[in-house]
């Protein structure tokens, strides 16, 4: 009789898992898909975005048992998304495909004339000119407002390295933003 | 616009306000469904059926294990047939050994006296 009771309780545990799998996955997806999509877009650009988002969620779900509650779930999800985006960049760089949002010219759809860069275009262009390492720390530190310790955890580097990367990345970014802004105002006679 | 003199906070605000975002950034049920099917996650839509099946499977497993345990216990003790066969075999052995029953013992010739083995015993 004891055996039957044990078997039933094990079975109900199993059922509970089956029943809640999809609900749990839906929760993880609805809560984090914006974060995953935006961070992948900001790191690796538009091409293959949907595939990379899917790949990230598949990895998240397959390895969710390995998630240690020492860190936040969102930090762990950041780490997976950043790694997926970086892997994609590495693979495509070998094929001479560089991160690019096709920024050569921005044409106004109505007038068909090259238009002034908006601040959004400016940021996107400046980010695309940074190295992968610098772009990642700028995105995580300035845009996603993560702490240095969290970034260190995500990119698996020590905090000193991250501080140094942020410092140099910030200088480069400021320089690119200034240059792009100046060039644009000169082009349009501003 | 000069960016070189911007403080960290100003730069952060500027970047957050103008961060690049994908055109489509909303929740996508289609994408979720596709992911679910890729991961082969099944939603439980038939509670009673699954419970019934699981109960039947548990019961069958319990019965099977009970039978196995019982068989193992029984195999440790000989069956009635085995016990009878064993006793019969031991009787035959005694009969074979009993070549010289007491009433028909061979006689030994020692000198002039004839002694039976019973006397020796």
CB-based contact (8 Å) between A109 and chain B? no
Residues of A in contact with B13 (CB under 8 A): none
Question: Residue B29 — very low, low, confident or very high, per pLDDT cuts 50/70/90?
Answer: confident
**In DSSP terms, which residues pair with B116 in a beta bridge?**
B107
CB-based contact (8 Å) between A168 and chain B? no
Residues of A in contact with B6 (CB under 8 A): 174
Kindly report, residue by residue over A95-135, the tens digit of the pLDDT.
444 455 544 445 455 555 555 678 888 899 899 899 999 99
- CA-CA distances (angstroms) from residue B13 to A112, A123, B10? 32, 12, 5
What average pLDDT score do residues A149-174 get?
Answer: 94
Pick B20's closest partner by Cβ from A34, A41, A145.
A41
**Res A164: pLDDT:** 96
d(CA A166, CA A185): 28
Q: For residues B111 and A82, which has the higher predicted lDDT (pLDDT)?
A: A82
CB-based contact (8 Å) between A172 and chain B? no
> Is residue A47 over pLDDT 70?
yes
What average pLDDT score do residues B94-107 get?
Answer: 58
Query: Which residue out of B1, B6, B18, B20 would a mutagenesis test of the A interface target, given it has the greatest number of A Cβ atoms within 10 Å?
Result: B20
**Res A185: pLDDT:** 73
**Do residues A79 and A40 make contact, with C-beta atoms less than 8 angstroms apart?**
no
Angle at B68 between CA B66 and CA B69, to 5 degrees: 65
What average pLDDT score do residues B1-13 get?
Answer: 86
What DSSP assignment string belongs to chain B? ---TT--HHHHHHHHHHT----S--S--HHHHHHHHHHHT------HHHHHHHHHHHHHHHHHHHHHHHHHHHHHHS--HHHHHHHHHHHHHHHHHH-SS-GGGPPEEEETTEEEEHHHH-
Residues of A in contact with B14 (CB under 8 A): 119, 123
Query: Among the listed ranges A87-91, A134-138, A168-172, B59-63, which one has the minimum average pLDDT value?
Result: A87-91
Chain length of chain A: 190
**Res B53: pLDDT:** 83
CB-based contact (8 Å) between B114 and chain A? no
What average pLDDT score do residues B27-35 get?
Answer: 83
ipTM of the complex: 0.76
Kindly report, residue by residue over A128-138, the tens digit of the pLDDT.
899 999 999 99
What average pLDDT score do residues B83-94 get?
Answer: 71
Q: Which of B8, B114, B89, B31 is nearest to A33 (CA)?
A: B31
Query: Among the listed ranges A89-98, A148-157, B20-29, which one has the minimum average pLDDT value?
Result: A89-98
Mean predicted lDDT score pLDDT of chain A: 80
Mean predicted lDDT score pLDDT of chain B: 75
E strand or H helix at A176, and its extent?
helix A159-187
> Cβ A123–B18 below 8 Å, yes or no?
yes
Kindly report, residue by residue over A53-64, the tens digit of the pLDDT.
999 999 998 888
């Amino acid at each position: 009789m004891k055996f039957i009771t044990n078997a039933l309780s094990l079975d109900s545990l199993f059922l509970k898992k089956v029943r809640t799998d999809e609900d749990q996955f839906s929760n993880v997806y609805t809560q984090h898909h914006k974060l995953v999509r935006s961070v992948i877009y900001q790191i690796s650009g538009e091409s293959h975005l949907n595939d990379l988002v899917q790949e990230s969620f598949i990895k998240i779900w397959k390895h969710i048992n390995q998630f240690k509650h020492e860190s936040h779930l969102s930090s762990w999800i950041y780490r997976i998304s950043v790694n997926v985006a970086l892997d994609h960049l590495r693979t495509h760089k070998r094929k001479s495909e560089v991160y690019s949002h096709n920024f050569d010219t921005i044409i106004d759809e109505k007038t068909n004339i090259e238009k002034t860069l908006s601040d959004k275009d400016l940021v996107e262009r400046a980010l695309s000119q940074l190295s992968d390492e610098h772009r990642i720390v700028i995105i995580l530190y300035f845009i996603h407002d993560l702490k240095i310790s969290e970034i260190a955890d995500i990119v698996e580097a020590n905090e000193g390295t991250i501080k140094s990367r942020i410092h140099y990345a910030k200088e480069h970014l400021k320089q690119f933003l200034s240059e792009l802004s100046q060039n644009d105002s000169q082009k349009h006679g501003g | 616009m000069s960016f070189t003199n911007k403080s960290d906070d100003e730069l952060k605000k500027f970047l957050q306000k103008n961060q690049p975002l994908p055109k489509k950034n909303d929740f996508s049920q289609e994408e979720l469904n596709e992911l679910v099917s890729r991961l082969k996650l099944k939603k439980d839509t038939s509670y009673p059926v699954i419970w019934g099946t699981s109960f039947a499977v548990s019961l069958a497993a319990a019965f099977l294990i009970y039978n196995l345990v019982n068989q193992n216990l029984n195999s440790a003790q000989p069956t009635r047939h085995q016990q009878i066969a064993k006793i019969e075999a031991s009787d035959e052995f005694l009969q074979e050994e009993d070549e010289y029953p007491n009433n028909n013992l061979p006689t030994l010739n020692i000198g002039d006296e004839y002694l039976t083995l019973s006397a020796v015993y």
